[in-house]
Chain A
Amino acid sequence: MRRADVVEATVRVLREAETALPPWVQRLIEQAFELETNMVARSQLQLILQNIHIAQSESLSMCQDTGLLIFYVKIGRDLNIEFDLGEAITEGVRRATMEVPLRPNVVDPLSRKNSGDNTGVMLPDLIVDDVEGDSLCITAFPKGAGSENMSLVGMLNPADDPYEFILKSVAERAANACPPLFLGIGIGGTFDLAARLAKKALFNLPGDSKLELDLLGRINSLGIGPMGLGGDTTALGVRIEKASCHTASLPVAINFQCWAHRCASAVVR
């Protein structure tokens, strides 16, 4: 595997993720528009669909918040990588910032000084799994701050109802997260494992278990609607990932994602 191919693939997946939604995401929004009965909500969904069309046909970033750059990287166990993979992806981020282009979003957390190229300490964020095979799969997940800022971890009492916690949190926070939402939910583990599971749940959308669909139905019955202005469509998908936890604990993490569930993948050999 060549370093240049990884850099190239990183630029490519970022361009695709920023300008074109996965077809299944677009289909969910189209279905929501067909079923929505609230007139204000319909106007929001209609402009969202128009925005998706313009971004894709003219290769423009659909949202000015081109996000914090998160990559889910699956590395084949039989692959021999003779260069620094993180450095190659970082180089791809620098190039994509100029070429796509992306808005420079990365700052020092205290001085607030902008790096100018979307890289920084621990960024881009690489989430790595090793898998069977001899190839590398890079998935770009640009994550906007509007939805990320609404995310949270609750260290619940095991006697608490986790679904009540989720519904209450969504009711309080959805309007700022650009609904209709996707929700990645991590239940169990520890404080930090629950948060990582919630992020990984977003990689595995949409959820289709009875539990996930029931929760989706309950969220939509809240009536928060697109952009929090009221309506039938508050969420488009919910995915739950579980880990075992301490007998005294019930961690529940909710990673909010806006309607623009941006992601794109490439395989490098």
Chain B
Amino acid sequence: MEHKLKTPLSVQDIETLHVGDVVFLNGTIFTARDKAHALLRSKGSPVEMKGAALYHCGPLIGGQKVISAGPTTSGRMDRYTDFILDLGVGAIIGKGGLSGQPFRKKAVYLAYPGGCGAVAAKQLKIQEVHFKELGMAEALWEFEALDLGPMVVAIDSHGCDLYEEVRRSLENKSKPTRR
């Protein structure tokens, strides 16, 4: 199923999403990666995180334009998931996945295809930059998303996790099969 959503996300928005669904997102989103997560925890958030979409991304910016802005590996930020979701974040966008358990009854994980920075840049406009002292890749950028997608719901709020399904099928495979 395909969904067009706008931030901030409501509880109802999050509940309608199931793994395998496709999402296009509009409205304000925030980037954060390694250093921004550490700073969010030590200093608090400079922006409203209730219903927010947090994008694991270190963009390439030129002047006032987004040049390339695909997702970074979410796994490095896995230790912060509980903290981030407790701020009220409704969707984490990234690649490679996170531990699924913290998302239950709270939020979704949206997978943007890794390496697709040129496409993503066309779907994002700079609004503001926070934590600028962290530098281009690590700062917390505030972007306007213009149909950001297609993103796949890879972890939903109902306890389903596509990465976990793939991992389980690897373990259960007595002999290799092709889907």
Contacts and interface: CB of A to CB of B under 8 A. Distances in A.
Contacts of B154: 229
Nearest to B95: A227
B166 A64 contact: no
Given A40-B20, A61-B67, A222-B176, A51 B114 contact: no
A184 interface: no
A230 B165 contact: yes
A105 B115 contact: no
Given A54-B122, A222-B176, A228-B163, A65 B96 contact: no
B95 A51 contact: no
B152 interface: yes
Q: Interface majority SS on B: helix, strand, loop or mixed?
A: mixed
Contact of A223 (B20, B118, B135, B170): B170
Given A38-B179, A229-B163, A104 B136 contact: yes
Q: Which range contains the number of A residues in contact with the other chain?
A: 35 or more
B137 A105 contact: yes
B20 A103 contact: no
Contact of A61 (B60, B96, B170): B60
Contact of B69 (A54, A64, A230): A64
Most A C-beta atoms less than 10 A away, residue of B72, B97, B178 = B178
A58 interface: yes
Interface string A26-53: 0000000000011010011001101100
Contact of A175 (B62, B96, B117, B136): B96
Among A54, A103, A116, A220, max chain B CB count under 10 A is at A103
B115 A178 contact: yes
A240 interface: no
B72 A65 contact: yes
B20 A51 contact: no
B41 to A, nearest CB: 16
Given A226-B113, A228-B166, A103 B152 contact: no
A251 interface: no
B95 A146 contact: yes
Nearest to A179: B114
A227 B114 contact: yes
A37 B163 CA distance: 18
Contacts of B136: 103-104
Name, among A43, A104, A229, the residue most crowded by chain B CB atoms within 10 Å (CB to CB): A229
A43 B151 CA distance: 9
Contacts, number: 156
Nearest to A45: B113
B58 A62 contact: no
Contact of A227 (B60, B68, B75, B113): B113
B57 A64 contact: yes
Nearest to A62: B118
Nearest to A258: B115
A209 interface: no
The residue in B58, B95, B166 that gathers the most chain A C-beta atoms within 10 A of its C-beta is: B166
Interface string B166-177: 100110010011
A50 to B, nearest CB: 6
Contacts of B115: 48, 51, 62-63, 144, 178, 258-260
A171 B115 CA distance: 20
A27 B68 CA distance: 23
Given A66-B60, A104-B137, A225 B166 contact: yes
A47 B119 contact: yes
A175 B60 contact: no
Given A63-B68, A175-B96, A175-B97, A54 B176 contact: no
12 contacts: A43-B113, A47-B113, A47-B119, A51-B115, A64-B58, A64-B60, A112-B35, A146-B72, A176-B73, A178-B95, A222-B176, A258-B114
7 nearest A-B pairs in the assembled complex, by CB-CB distance: A221-B176, A178-B114, A176-B96, A64-B68, A51-B116, A64-B117, A55-B118
